[in-house]
Copies of this chain bind each other. A is one copy, B any other.
Amino acid sequence: MARSKATINDVAKAVGVHPSTVSRVMNPGTRHMVTAEIAKKVTEAARGLGYHRNALAHSLRTRRSSTVGVVIPDITNPVFPPILRGIEDTLAAVGYIAIIANTDGAPDRDAVVLEHMLARRVDGLILATARRKDAVVDRCIAEEVPVVLINRTTGKDSVVPSVVNDDVRGIGLTVSHLTGLGHRRIAHVAGPQDLSTGLERHRGFLAAMKAAGLKADPALIAVAGVYSEREGQRALLTLLDGKKRFTAVVAANDLLALGCYEALVSRELSCPRDMSITGFNDMPFVDKLNPPLTTVRIQHYEMGVQAAKVLLERITDPQARRVDLRLEPSLVVRGSTGRPAS
């Protein structure tokens, strides 16, 4: 840590005023309390000495750290970087910073990460790791620290605000796209059902099929244990090994869809000739795949921005009414979907 850093006392001494005066000058909200002339001398001395407020001492005294914790499963999942940018850019604009922790989806890591963040006295938390029943969320409520859930949410009766995608609608877009192409027997590689995204997209799939006048065959639904390429591959292979035939598969996210690609390759099936595939998230570079992936585009960056805004509002006014934002997804049609080979 910087040893030679000038403190408020040094500045005060240099100008010949009391430290509290310097404090008032450095603080926009109280600058008006001190004579313009003195203020000028103080700012000059401060600049001359290279003074910068010690954020630690400031936070300790004011009980505001201007820090928020962001908990995500894994930053190497390409969905998260744009979200983080949205969060960080928004926070930075008001002098806040984010500290990030990866949990790898392990609920026990959650707890220790949370303690760490509470110890650092974060002003609030953004959680992208919420499970439908989530101890961490409960803990935060008990501790009365402002929280907003992002991407995923807990049970529907949640009391904490959230910013999520309209998962039901998003899946609906893929299904109607496929039925529009003439597909009737559509399979679903569902995500983990203890995550709101997995559950909602599953529900959305059932609803959309029904709306299209088709029946969603339970034998054509495979559930992945986690969102990963490997699980997607496994799930689709299971379906292919089943008795029921199908011409298209709606994957609950892009990673699962990638796994589906692999499964097709290993069975020497061609996409989209033998099988159409759709994803969810429009991760970076899925437009470069072979074939380019038809998927649901979500507003990554915007999601981060909104989550940060909601949280900041919560921090300044803890009594603020809870909001639940649901961002509008859109369909990006690319090469992985086509007419069924009659």
Interface set of A (CB-CB < 8 Å, partner B): 1-4, 52-57, 59-60, 63-65, 74-76, 78, 80-82, 84-85, 88, 92, 97-102, 115-116, 118-123, 142-145, 258, 261, 284-286, 288-291
Contacts and interface: CB of A to CB of B under 8 A. Distances in A.
Given A88-B100, A97-B116, A76 B81 contact: yes
Given A54-B121, A81-B81, A98-B100, 4 more contacts: A3-B144, A55-B120, A99-B99, A100-B100
7 contacts: A4-B143, A4-B145, A53-B119, A55-B121, A56-B121, A92-B101, A261-B288
A143 B64 CA distance: 26
A59 B67 CA distance: 15
A85 B102 CA distance: 8
A263 to B, nearest CB: 14
Contacts of A261: 288
A299 B198 CA distance: 33
A101 to B, nearest CB: 8
Contacts of A65: 1, 56
Contacts of A102: 85, 88
A163 to B, nearest CB: 19
Given A84-B75, A99-B99, A52 B115 contact: yes
Nearest to A113: B92
Contact of A55 (B119, B143, B291): B119
Contacts of A3: 142-144
A142 B1 CA distance: 6
A284 B1 contact: no
Contacts of A286: 285
Q: Which of A56, A57, A82, A100 gathers most chain B CB within 10 Å?
A: A56
A156 B120 CA distance: 39
A118 B56 contact: no
A97 B75 contact: no
A193 to B, nearest CB: 27
A4 B289 contact: no
Contacts of A85: 74-76, 102
Given A76-B82, A82-B76, A99-B97, A1 B290 contact: no
Contacts of A59: 56
A55 B59 CA distance: 11
Contacts of A56: 56, 59-60, 65, 120-121
A173 to B, nearest CB: 23
Contacts of A53: 119
Contacts of A78: 78, 81, 284-285
